[in-house]
Structure 1
Amino acid sequence: MGLINADALTLHAREAETVSEVIFERVFNDSDLAEYHEIETGINVKTQIAFAERLGLLGKLSEGCTPNEADGFALTEKFWTPVLEDFRLKHCQNDMPALLKLFRKSQRINPDFFDAVGSEEFGIIISAVESALIENIHRKVWFNDTAAKTVDDAETPGVFTSNTDVDYFNSFDGLFKQIMTEVSDEEIDLKHINITDNEGDSYANQALAEDAAIAIFEQMVTIADERLVSNEDSFILATRTLADNYRATLRNKNLGSGFLEVVEEGRPKLYFDGIEVKVRYDWDRYIKTYQNNGTKWNLPHRAVFTTKSNIPVGTLSEEDLTTLDVFYDKTEKMNIMDAAYTIDAKHLEAYMTVAAY
């Protein structure tokens, strides 16, 4: 099938004459990647990330001529392991029904009818694809899993919805996979709050109890390392399910000034004890679409308390994540959109994260 499938349109009366009259389905998460993550550029090969352990106690009473020796610190490491991903979208004007006038009116057939690159209308399609690319990057950064399996996998059933093409998810390990792996690693002290409602055996039984979210957020902040709580850039990323539950509590209880919802520049902002709660509506969509076994969802309630510098995204060039190579192939008479980029995501320091799921 070509880039555009117009089979569902009724070609009678007055049809849409330009792409600008077509209403595109809204992108699920239109936020800039940099709102949630530091972007590390120049990453196209395996690259070391070194960590220096915090120094302990320093300074004892001086006696004699020899200074007191202090304990040193250890260095640890992780690695960027970026992968190269790409895709191509092709559109041929002959694929469109003759009556559908979605592109500029041509003055001649060859080449004007076939070449849509550079037209205002095709530019709108390019913009829609670029937005979808951003959405896909968000999905990969959090939900990718190199061991991704569907729920009906014959050998080792996984959590991905039946018939999902897991090749869209298994190029590198996303942040949820990394965080959950570290939570289960006894040698890594990554703090975790268990959300019992996630364990329900049906959609209905996974519903959050009243005031559950405020209790979860309170536990997350309480057990968090002081360096995370005191960091001015810390935030809580949360599914809509948790945010809506928290909003309900705010409406029903008279809480202090640090627990509120405000509107800034037309966008609602949630705060818990002065810490911003950023609602990840896209997480809910991905879970419901791609991690659904037909009876229940895989961990539908999730929150991560951290900083964006602790969950960076690595790429060779930030522009690669948002830019398409668009050209017209005269031989094939195809309008082509190519994209290629290197990408990886890293969870860096465990003490700077609290996860709830």
Structure 2
Amino acid sequence: MPIIDVEDLTLNPQEVETAGEVIFERAYNESDLSEYHDIETGVTMKQQIVFAELMGMLGKKATGCTPNAADGFAMTEKFWEPVIEDFRLEQCQLDMPALLKLFRKAQRMNPDFYDAVGYEEFGVIIAAVETALLENMHRKIWFNDTVAATVANSGVFTNGTDLGYFNSFDGLFKQIFTEVPETSAQYVAITANDGDSYVNQKLAADAAFSIFEKMVEAADERLAGAEDAFILATRSLADNYRSTLRNKNLGAGFLEVVENGRPKLMFDGIEIKVRYDWDRNIKKYQDNGTTRHLPHRAIMTTKSNIPIATLSTEDLTKLDVFYEKYKKVNVIDGAYSIDAKHLEPYMTVAAY
């Protein structure tokens, strides 16, 4: 299949003539990765992350010449294990209808007709790939699972999903659900997730307010006191919370404010970042036909506690674009290394 499928386009004298007139479908999340994560660069292979436990109490009343013994502290570890992913897209100009005005008219066949690199029309393809690449990164960082399985195989992924796009490394949901299980003091239950149908999975009125309140109460004092703490939440929770804001007179710390022209949702002074892409991915890739897998989710943490690692941040956005003379195709190559880590469970509250 060619990169661009134009079967549904009508060719006529008034068709689109420039790439600037093409309207792209909007992405679900165009935010830079650094809005949510610290980014570690230069990570090429298994690399150690060391944690030092907080020391206990020190100092007792002296009773002789020998000082009182004090307890030490433990050190633990995790490892960065970045994986290398890549893709290639090839476009042959012969795949495009000769009448489509969006694509330039070459003055000669060889090589001008075939070589589109550097021309505006090929920029349409490059722009589409760049947008898709960023959205794919957001999806992988959160939803990847090395043992991903479809519903038919006792998993949670929608039947028919190509699991090769999900199983290269463990994403943050997999790690957080493991390290902040339902038995954890930092877990907040969302009972609507247990509904036996789409309708019964809907949130009750004011449910999100109660969930966010419990999350703040469950937070370790070090997380609660962190200036950079935020709550990441599905749109379902954010919309439910906004409904509460419209119907209740709450204080200034519970308002949706506009900062630099962008709405900013707050709960008790803590910013709630709405992850519309989470809702989209859950609906598309974690649906068993009757219910969705944990359709309502929220994570309270900090950027530094959910970092990602790569060899170079440029790899996550930069494409290798060239014309292959032998095959007479225009090529877009992408390659990058990527991993995500949930570092310290006490710095996370998970509601699911």
Q: TM-score, normalised by structure 2?
A: 0.97
Equivalent residue, structure 2, for 1:317: 312
Q: Give yes or no for the alignment of 1:194 onto 2:189.
A: yes
Which of 164, 177, 180 is equivalent to 2:177? 180
- Counterpart residue type for residue 320 of structure 1: D
Paired residue type of 2:339 = D
Structure 1 unaligned segments of length 5 or more: list them.
Answer: none
Give the aligned CA root-mean-square deviation in angstroms: 1.3
The equivalences for 1:212-291 within 5 A come to: 212-291=207-286
> Which deviations, in whole Å up to 9, do the C-alpha atoms of 1:237-280 show, x marking residues without a partner?
00000000000000100011110101112211100000000000
User: Aligned partners of 2:30, 2:243: CA distance in 1, in Å?
Assistant: 25
Aligned counterpart, 2:160? 163
Provide the C-alpha distance between the structure 2 equivalents of 1:68 and 1:40, rounded to a whole number of angstroms.
42
Q: Conserved in 2, the CA contact under 8 Å of 1:190 and 1:351?
A: no
**TM superposition shift of 1:301:** 0.3
SS in 2 for 1:16: coil
Correspondence 1:67 to 2:78: no
Q: Secondary structure at the match of 1:152?
A: helix
Query: Relative to structure 2, which stretch is displaced further, 38-47 or 53-62?
Result: 53-62
Match of residue 92 from structure 1: 92
> 1:258 is paired with a residue of what secondary structure?
helix
- How far residue 63 of structure 1 moved from its aligned partner, in angstroms, is 4.0
- Equivalences, count: 352
Tell me, yes or no, if structure 1 residue 354 matches structure 2 residue 339. Answer: no
Amino acid at match of 1:230: G
Say if 1:164 and 1:290, in contact at 8 Å, map to a contact too: yes
TM-superposed CA distance for 1:190, in Å, is 6.3
Distance in 2 (CA, whole Å) between partners of 1:91 and 1:20 is 20
Determine if contact 2:103/2:121 at 8 Å carries over to the other structure: yes
Residue 296 (structure 1) shift: 1.3
- Which amino acid in structure 2 is aligned with residue 131 of structure 1? T
User: What SS class does the counterpart of residue 180 from structure 2 fall into?
Assistant: helix
- Residue equivalent to 2:105: 105
Partner AA of 1:180 in structure 2: F
Is the CA contact 2:237–2:296 (under 8 Å) kept in the aligned structure 1? yes
User: Amino acid of the residue matched to residue 252 of structure 1?
Assistant: N
Deviation at 1:88, TM superposition (A): 0.5
> Is contact 1:228-1:352 (8 Å) kept?
yes
The answer on whether the counterparts of 2:182 and 2:189 sit within 8 Å (CA) in structure 1 is: no
How far residue 23 of structure 1 moved from its aligned partner, in angstroms, is 1.0
Task: Decide which of 332, 337, 344 is 1:342's aligned counterpart.
Answer: 337
Q: Give the superposition deviation at 1:68.
A: 2.6
Among 309, 328, 333, the alignment partner of 1:333 is 328
Post-superposition offset of 1:140: 0.2
Amino acid at match of 1:302: R
Residue pair 2:181, 2:187 contacting (<8 A) in 1 also: no
Secondary structure of the residue aligned to 1:271 is: strand
1:116 aligns with 2:116: yes
**Cα deviation, residue 34, structure 1:** 0.3
1:185 deviation in Å? Answer: 8.8
1:319-355 per-residue CA deviation (whole Å, 9 max, x = no partner) reads 1111111110011111100011111100000000000
Counterparts of 1:146 and 1:190 in 2: how far apart (Å)? 27
- TM-score, normalised to structure 1's length? 0.96
Question: Partner residue of 1:50?
Answer: 50
For the 8 Å contact 1:19–1:125, the answer to whether it is kept is no
Contact 1:182 1:190 in 2 (8 A): no
% identical aligned pairs: 70
The alpha carbon displacement at 1:15 in A equals 1.4
- Cα deviations by residue, 1:135-182 (Å, 9 ceiling, x for unpaired): 0000000000111111123xxx21111111011000111000111112
Letter in 2 for 1:171: S
Q: In the alignment, is residue 11 of structure 1 matched against residue 11 of structure 2?
A: yes
